[in-house]
């Protein structure tokens, strides 16, 4: 049997949330699966060669700034043709997409399962179907409820990254001069409304350096270089203690995050990776509901109502106080609560 598992949510965090479910399906089937997902998820970097993904079908739909290969009527037929060429026996959708379900039907995949909300059910061959009320659940909870209904055991209760020894070796070679012990900041954000800002990150960095941490790793993507420079520049004579870690391979970044004392980060992929790597993650939620699917995530929500300037209402004292209460102090040596 050859099985495709569909997870089309585009972000890195979206893929991290679904890693336990994808592994559970592969374990249930007793074989590796093909993953159907979007390029922005960087799934090829999250799933290593010893994991459960055989290969990936990239769905190039709704990309930023251009027309995707699978957009429009022609793109729909192209996607169906690519799925048909793989000759899948079954397809499992961890999503409610009607378009991909319809493409799978057109591709002739004989067994098609999914959440079954609204018109998607027309293109599926069988359940279990989730009740419409589950649409309000976090995507991790939806996928977990789907597997439970399908009788598929999920050994991992929360997302977990499998980090290869080679990733640790590469990371340590790149960070030989990084002063330790260190903390990490997840400075990137997929949307401006999720960005805490250079001034607040710099002010928190000063407190943590004064508390005894030797450095702060500024983790993000290549597009975060200006933000990292602003944070470091504001530290003045201590600028070299704010170390940019930008655009790394995700597994090397995960290896670094796993060795951090903790992470403070915007609600984005780095935050989810840190928690999945086993690192305490103080996560800043200004505009979105907080997550509760990982015991390593300590949510720090914006006080007050309304989305306007919500991240600005998360002040440095609120973040520092949360860390202090959770760990018993701000410094490297503390009594964990």
CA distance 14 to 9: 6
Burial of 335 (0-12, 13-18, 19+ CB in 10 A): exposed
Would you state the structure tokens that stand for residue 330, as one six-digit string?
């701000």
Nearest to 262 by CA among 177, 202, 322: 322
The confidence score (pLDDT) of residue 90 equals: 98
CA distance 215 to 332: 11
Please give the C-alpha separations between residue 294 and each of 158, 167, 275, in angstroms, as whole numbers. Answer: 6, 23, 7
175 and 146 within one domain: no
Q: Are 12 and 19 a contacting pair, CB within 8 Å?
A: no
Domain that holds residue 303: 167-327
Cα 222 to the chain's mean position, in Å? Answer: 17
Asked whether residue 81 is assigned to any structural domain, the reply reads yes
Cα 266 to the chain's mean position, in Å? Answer: 12
The confidence score (pLDDT) of residue 163 equals: 95
Strands (DSSP E) contained in 80-157 are 90-93, 111-113
CA distance 112 to 4: 10
131 and 189 within one domain: no
The confidence score (pLDDT) of residue 51 equals: 86
213: CB partners within 8 A, 6+ apart: 181, 182, 183, 261, 331, 332
The confidence score (pLDDT) of residue 56 equals: 97
Would you state the structure tokens that stand for residue 110, as one six-digit string?
């004989």
Q: 156: phi > 0 → left, psi -120 to 50 → alpha, else beta; which?
A: beta
How does pLDDT run along the chain (337 residues), one tens digit per residue? Answer: 799 999 999 999 999 999 999 999 999 999 999 999 999 999 999 998 778 999 999 999 999 889 999 999 999 999 999 999 999 999 999 999 999 999 999 999 999 999 999 999 999 999 999 999 999 999 999 999 999 999 999 999 999 999 999 999 999 999 999 999 999 999 999 888 889 999 999 999 999 999 999 999 999 999 999 999 999 999 999 999 999 999 999 999 999 999 999 999 999 999 999 999 999 999 999 877 888 789 999 999 988 766 566 898 999 999 999 999 999 999 998 765 4
**First-residue to last-residue Cα distance in the chain:** 49
204 and 92 within one domain: no
Whole-structure pTM over 0.75, yes or no? yes
Tokens 């989305």 identify what position? 307
Q: Are 216 and 202 a contacting pair, CB within 8 Å?
A: no
The confidence score (pLDDT) of residue 309 equals: 64
CATH of the domain at 216: 3.40.50.2000
Q: Are 311 and 193 a contacting pair, CB within 8 Å?
A: yes
240 and 191 within one domain: yes
Asked whether residue 337 is assigned to any structural domain, the reply reads no
CA distance 90 to 110: 6
228 and 120 within one domain: no
Cα 34 to the chain's mean position, in Å? Answer: 19
Asked whether residue 334 is assigned to any structural domain, the reply reads no
119: CB partners within 8 A, 6+ apart: 98
The confidence score (pLDDT) of residue 282 equals: 98
Q: How many domains does the chain have?
A: 2
The confidence score (pLDDT) of residue 336 equals: 55
The confidence score (pLDDT) of residue 306 equals: 61
Would you state the structure tokens that stand for residue 95, as one six-digit string?
């999503």
226 and 92 within one domain: no
The confidence score (pLDDT) of residue 65 equals: 87
């Amino acid at each position: 049997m050859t099985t495709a598992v569909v997870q089309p949510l585009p972000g890195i965090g979206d893929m991290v949330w679904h890693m336990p479910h994808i592994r559970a399906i592969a374990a249930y089937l007793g074989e590796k699966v093909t993953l159907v997902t979007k390029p922005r998820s960087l799934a090829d970097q999250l799933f290593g060669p010893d994991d459960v993904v055989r290969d990936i079908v990239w769905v190039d739909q709704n990309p930023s700034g251009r027309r995707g290969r699978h957009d429009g009527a022609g793109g729909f037929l192209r996607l169906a043709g690519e799925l048909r060429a793989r000759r899948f026996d079954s397809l499992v959708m961890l999503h409610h997409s009607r378009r991909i379900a319809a493409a799978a039907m057109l591709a002739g995949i004989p067994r098609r399962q999914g959440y079954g909300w609204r018109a998607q059910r027309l293109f599926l061959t069988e359940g279990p179907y989730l009740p419409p009320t589950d649409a309000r659940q976090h995507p991790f909870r939806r996928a977990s409820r789907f597997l439970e209904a399908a009788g598929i055991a999920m050994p991992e209760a929360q997302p977990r990254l499998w980090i290869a020894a080679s990733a640790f070796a590469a990371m340590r070679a790149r960070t030989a001069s990084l002063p330790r012990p260190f903390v990490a900041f997840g400075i990137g954000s997929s949307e401006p409304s999720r960005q805490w800002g250079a001034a607040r990150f710099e002010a928190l960095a000063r407190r943590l350096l004064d508390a005894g941490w030797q450095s702060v790793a500024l983790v993000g993507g290549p597009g975060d270089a200006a933000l990292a420079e602003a944070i470091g520049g504001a530290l003045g004579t201590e600028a070299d203690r704010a170390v940019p870690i930008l655009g790394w391979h995700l597994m090397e970044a995960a290896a670094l995050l796993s060795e951090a004392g903790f992470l403070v980060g915007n609600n984005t992929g780095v935050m989810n990776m840190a928690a999945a790597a086993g690192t305490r993650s103080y996560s800043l939620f200004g505009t979105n509901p907080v997550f509760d699917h990982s015991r390593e995530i300590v949510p720090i929500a914006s006080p007050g109502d309304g989305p306007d300037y919500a991240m600005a209402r998360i002040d440095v004292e609120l973040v520092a106080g949360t860390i202090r209460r959770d760990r018993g102090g701000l410094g490297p040596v503390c009594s964990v609560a």
